Chains A and B, each alone.
Chain A
Amino acid sequence: MARYDRAITVFSPDGHLFQVEYALEAVRKGNATVGVRGTDTIVLGVEKKSTPKLQDSRSVRKIVSLDTHIALACAGLKADARVLINRARIECQSHRLTVEDPVTVEYITRYIAGLQQKYTQSGGVRPFGLSTLIVGFDPYTGVPALYQTDPSGTFSAWKANATGRNSNSMREFLEKNYKETSGQETVKLAIRALLEVVESGGKNIEIAVMTKERGLRQLDEAEIDAIVAEIEAEKAAAEAAKKTPSKDT
């Protein structure tokens, strides 16, 4: 098996592309990232690792906008992310220039996934080590969308998804607790999923909310803390209700 992971253009006898699978390992070591699609709101959440004291935390943006109506969060190699995001931003503008219309979420996802795939089928290059969650509103129909891509270049649409560290637990939580939400409820669902695997508190989570009217908005620490407090209160109330089921006879 060790002989089949040198050059990525080579398949192993049992049909694996090992470099792609190793890239997925790199993704699994990345920050926990979650995305939830509501009826009128889409939320992206990323785990924020503790920033060194001397680092300017504002220069480390994990959730970025690709265009006024499209945002992206990713897990994996941050340097690869920077390159991929720049190419996607150029493509968004190039599309506006050639057809005088903004890109749809599906189009830019297909472009990014195509780019990731190209690097799995060329000589002398390695795949991008990141999975992305791409969100946005369709510029024509206004329908919200959430897509995920991975290092192999596959992409698909999701109602809610997670990637990066502990993504399986987050996805399990979302599968159990997902329902159609809107507005603040969507934000809460995303934060609750993230809190399953991340230490509680506003300084460990980065949340961005996208709405059709206001575009992408990063929530600041105070806002996140407030919502986290709300969630904890709800959890406590639920536990209390469970412990004393029939308080009034």
Chain B
Amino acid sequence: MKLDLSGFESTPSLHGGAVDDVGEDLFSRPSFQLPACSDFDGFQKDAVQMVKPAKGTTTLAFIFKEGVIVAADSRASMGGYISSQSVKKIIEINPYMLGTMAGGAADCQFWHRNLGIKCRLHELANKRRISVTGASKLLANILYSYRGMGLSVGTMIAGWDEKGPGLYYVDSEGGRLKGARFSVGSGSPYAYGVLDSGYRYDMTKEEAAELARRAIYHATFRDGASGGVASVYYVGPDGWTKLSGDDVGELHYKYYPVVPTPIEQEMADAPAA
């Protein structure tokens, strides 16, 4: 049941709908026709169940003294098939805000782009940048209005605004959490293990990036649905920059180089009898 939010509508509902809201269309909830079928509730349940297990990924983000670090893997999987090893899971909403992708790739990409449009319009109308709080709330409200319709989005919005670094977790169930450390996806338990044990607020930028890289690497090592390239981004007062993008296979041999086994006994040729 949808909440009755007509009290919050900024347009008057006049008889005959005389008032025209051409400019408001961009802000009104995009709508589409629902399928006509006999078992609509069951149809929705199946659609949701089909998409649910699909958050095969590892993304993480954390706030530290110099700003926010955002990192992710780059594998896309369809069941047991690896469909791509080079997916961009860190989405650039605008020069000072990043979003991460987990769940449905199309859902994440579309709604992040839509959020970028809304943020830019807010800037133009109000002559000031939107806060990370505001941006994450806009996205959360949109996702909430599609709740139960099969969107699969587990994203983190990271950015730097007037109040300093900001990090929010937003998902397609309509949840929105403010926090300092998050990891999302099937590889997140592994990433949390490394991240939580190595985290200190007053790390340097290099230490923080290395921690993020290791966390992603360890998650890709153990989780089959994560892999590819570990990208690490940094968000600071001047916006975001990409710090590194390393293939996790190469990272493996960097962290655990092959040690040639020492030979204890050399086999010598038997002296010719």
User: Which residues of A line the B interface, CB within 8 A?
Assistant: 87, 90-91, 94, 97-101, 104, 106-107, 110-111, 115, 118, 121-125, 140
Contacts and interface: CB of A to CB of B under 8 A. Distances in A.
Given A104-B126, A124-B15, A140-B162, A94 B10 contact: yes
A122 B131 contact: no
A88 to B, nearest CB: 10
Interface residues of B, number: 22
Contact of B138 (A90, A98, A106): A98
Contacts, number: 50
B133 A124 contact: no
Contacts of A106: 126
A118 B22 CA distance: 11
A50 B146 CA distance: 55
Given A100-B133, A104-B126, A123-B18, A111 B141 contact: no
A125 B18 contact: yes
B11 to A, nearest CB: 8
B260 interface: no
Contacts of B11: 118
A123 B10 CA distance: 18
A107 B7 CA distance: 19
Contact of A125 (B14, B126, B137, B162): B14
A87 B12 CA distance: 9
B133 A122 contact: no
B20 interface: yes
B175 interface: no
A202 B125 CA distance: 42
B131 A118 contact: no
A140 B133 CA distance: 15
Contacts of A104: 126
Contacts of B12: 87, 118
Nearest to B20: A122
Contact of A99 (B14, B18, B125, B134): B134
9 contacts: A94-B8, A99-B131, A100-B131, A111-B10, A115-B10, A122-B14, A122-B18, A124-B14, A125-B19
A3 to B, nearest CB: 22
B79 interface: no
A98 B139 CA distance: 10
A23 to B, nearest CB: 17
B180 interface: no
Contacts of A87: 10, 12
Interface string B1-30: 000000110111011101110000000000
Contact of B16 (A100, A110, A124, A140): A124
Interface in B128-174: 128, 130-131, 133-134, 137-138, 141, 162
Nearest to A124: B18
Nearest to B11: A118
B178 to A, nearest CB: 10
Contacts of B7: 90
Given A122-B18, A122-B20, A124-B16, A101 B134 contact: yes
Given A97-B8, A123-B16, A124-B15, 11 more contacts: A87-B12, A98-B138, A100-B131, A100-B133, A100-B134, A101-B131, A101-B134, A115-B10, A121-B20, A124-B14, A125-B14
A124 B12 CA distance: 13
Contacts of A111: 10
A106 B126 CA distance: 8
Contact of B19 (A91, A97, A122): A122
Contacts of B125: 110
Contacts of A115: 10
Contacts of A90: 7-8
A107 B126 contact: yes
Given A107-B126, A118-B19, A122-B20, A98 B14 contact: no
A91 B10 contact: yes
Contacts of A100: 131, 133-134, 137
Contact of B141 (A98, A124, A140): A98
A140 B128 CA distance: 11
A115 B162 CA distance: 30
A158 to B, nearest CB: 19
Contacts of A99: 130-131, 133-134, 137-138
Contacts of A124: 14-16, 18
The 7 A-B pairs at the shortest CB distance, nearest first, are namely: A99-B134, A94-B8, A100-B133, A123-B18, A122-B18, A122-B19, A124-B18
